[in-house]
A = this chain, B = another copy of it.
Amino acid sequence: MTFIHTLATAWERNDSLLCVGLDPDPARFPAHLHGRDDAIFEFCKTIVAATADLVCAFKPQIAYFAAQRAEDQLEALIAHIHAAYPCIPVILDAKRGDIGDTAAQYAVEAFERFQADALTVNPYMGRDSIAPYLAYPDKGVILLCRTSNPGGSDVQALEVGGEQLYERIARLTAKEWNSSGQCALVVGATYPAELARVRALVGDMPLLTPGIGAQGGDIAAVVQAGQTRNGTGLILNSSRAILYAGADEHYAQFARQSAQAARDAINVQRTKS
């Protein structure tokens, strides 16, 4: 089953557009996990168990694992999600980008080693830097378009021939790069008007939208701007607001409450067909 199809099934089955971002920071773990060699895996596994029926995807951010020498725990975590929750796709957030031969190695890393269902990719190096990921027909390739950080405008908002660069990236992806139907785009929640603009350019292409939790994006504005006509099309990511909703050994319960509140707040705004 392809990433795009698994995602669509998860939207429906869990009645959710929420994605839980797995950004494990050991300094913020509850005390009972401190000092354990498998603390990152255990923390994330518990969050996954507490939220798996509330989400459309999980999104581990590889930097948090790499900074801790924990690639083995990332492998184990993704394998665990596939085994225990096979209907929930895993997006590896790594924002890779390089020339073809090297991109082929990153594709091996993401899709063969880590067994991710989809990977975030940086479009700055152009079409042939994306092609090696598209060579895996079941996988999703999620290109950065408009990011949620303050400096995102430095480059992405530059005017190119009557439109902004992020609009050009959206059009290039929709019209030229997505012939296989595997692509999606990252469009931050902090700019709902731009999210609406991207939606208008790309039809029903899925949009991964970070920034609804700790980064402060407005859920109502984001859902109204970004959903498709059938009330889906969005992967609305929250990381810290869910992972660290509670700081003690009951963190799973707080994470679940936070995820449920986010899912419900999103669903109130959806156009259900």
Which residues of A are interface residues toward B (Cβ below 8 A)? Answer: 23, 61, 63-64, 66-67, 69, 71, 95-103, 105-106, 108-109, 112-113, 122-130, 144, 147-156, 158-161, 165, 168-169, 172
Q: Are A123 and B155 in contact (CB under 8 A)?
A: yes
Chain B residues lying within 8 Å of A66, measured Cβ to Cβ, are 71, 105-106, 109, 113
How many copies of this chain does the complex contain?
A: 2
Whether B67 pairs with A109 at a CB distance below 8 angstroms is yes
Contact present for A98 and B95 (CB under 8 Å): yes
Given contacts A71-B69, A99-B147, A126-B151, contact A159 B156 (CB under 8 A): no
Which 10 A/B pairs are nearest by Cβ-Cβ distance? A126-B151, A126-B154, A63-B105, A128-B151, A67-B108, A99-B149, A127-B151, A67-B105, A66-B109, A158-B160
Return the chain B residue nearest A101 by Cβ: B23
Q: Are the CB atoms of B155 and A169 closer together than 8 Å? A: yes
Contacts of A64 in B (CB 8 A): 102, 105
